[in-house]
Amino acid sequence: MPETSATELMQRYIACARTNDFASAYGYFADDIAVRIPGRSAMAGEFRGKQVAIDYIEHARALSHGQDVELELIDMLAGRERVALLVRERFHRPDGPVDIHRANVYTVRGGQIVEIWIFEGDQYAVDALLGA
């Protein structure tokens, strides 16, 4: 059976995230995934390991005060091993919604996501959201 393309794998990953099936979404992460989180928050830095990626996403999801983070896929740019997702995420906060625009660049090898680089549209807004 031919290997799943990076685009196909990311489409499956996005479908899981959009339906809040994060248990399945996390199944696409390699055990030694590299994660680069920008900014000045306590979460920022370069890390390795599936649990680090899961902890970051779960921390961000918890900031939406009991509601799901709304995920809008604006565009997808894909190569053989890399896929860039341009997204808008809406967090529900007590003082109103916060929209975060970002580009996440994923590297896919061997049917798994092996690297995620996050590029924020407004780093100051993200640092404020994460509690920098």
Confidence at residue 1, expressed as pLDDT on a 0 to 100 scale: 46
Distance in angstroms (rounded) separating the CA atoms of residues 101 and 90: 9
| pLDDT surpasses 90 at 20 | no
The tens digit of pLDDT for each residue in 23-61 reads 999 999 999 999 999 999 888 999 999 999 999 998 888
**The 96-109 sheet, strands edge to edge:** 45-48, 29-37, 112-120, 96-109, 82-93, 70-78
The tens digit of pLDDT for each residue in 107-116 reads 999 999 999 9
- Domains, in order of start, for the chain: 6-130 (3.10.450.50)
Q: What percent of the chain has pLDDT over 90?
A: 67
What mean pLDDT is predicted for residues 62-77? 86
User: Are 8 and 17 contacting, i.e. CB atoms less than 8 angstroms apart?
Assistant: no
